[in-house]
Amino acid sequence: MLDEANNFHPNIKLVRQIGRSIPFLDVFIQNSYEVLKTSAYHKEAAEPYVLPFGSDHSGHVFRNTVDTAITRAVRYSRTLSEFKEEIRQMKLMFLHNGYSPRHIYRRLTTLFSKYLLKNFILPMLNNCDEFGYLRHQLLTTPRATTADKTTTN
């Protein structure tokens, strides 16, 4: 079956890999005593490149780009510390591509305030329970509507 999939398109190649952990697309999956744990996966050779902020696109495209990265960080991180590290890397990637710190801050605040306290001001999570609640909310929200909900602000 894997051979058939590899013959489907010359630019797509799947590799056989057996073990307790495996990267698959942008997720790193670990089997820890029959419990699957996920985290965001970054290829070692990948450059920190996303749509440059100075490019000629509508504002919603830049908002969606950041919102998708934040949502990915929440969905794939199992702990608050993993999430904070993913957000740190995400911020650096967006800064490298010309996004302003204010834009990133605004997207974090907008997303967090939708799921956490209405008076949530800072885009920081220091409470594991808040992160668990945020993660639960995003995991139970259909993917197509998550971006729609955050792009209207």
Rounded Cα gap, residues 36 and 132, in angstroms: 17
Residue 81: what pLDDT? 87
pLDDT (tens digit per residue) in 19-32: 888 887 778 888 88
Instruction: Supply the pTM of this predicted model.
Output: 0.67
Mean pLDDT of the chain: 79
> In terms of pLDDT, which residue wins out, 117 or 61?
61
Q: What is the per-residue burial (b if ≥16 Cβ within 10 Å, else e) of 14-34?
A: eeeeeeeeeeeeeebeeeeee
Residue 98: what pLDDT? 93
Which two structure tokens, joined as six digits, stand for 23?
A: 């990267």
Query: Which sequence spans correspond to the domains of the chain?
Result: 1-46, 50-153
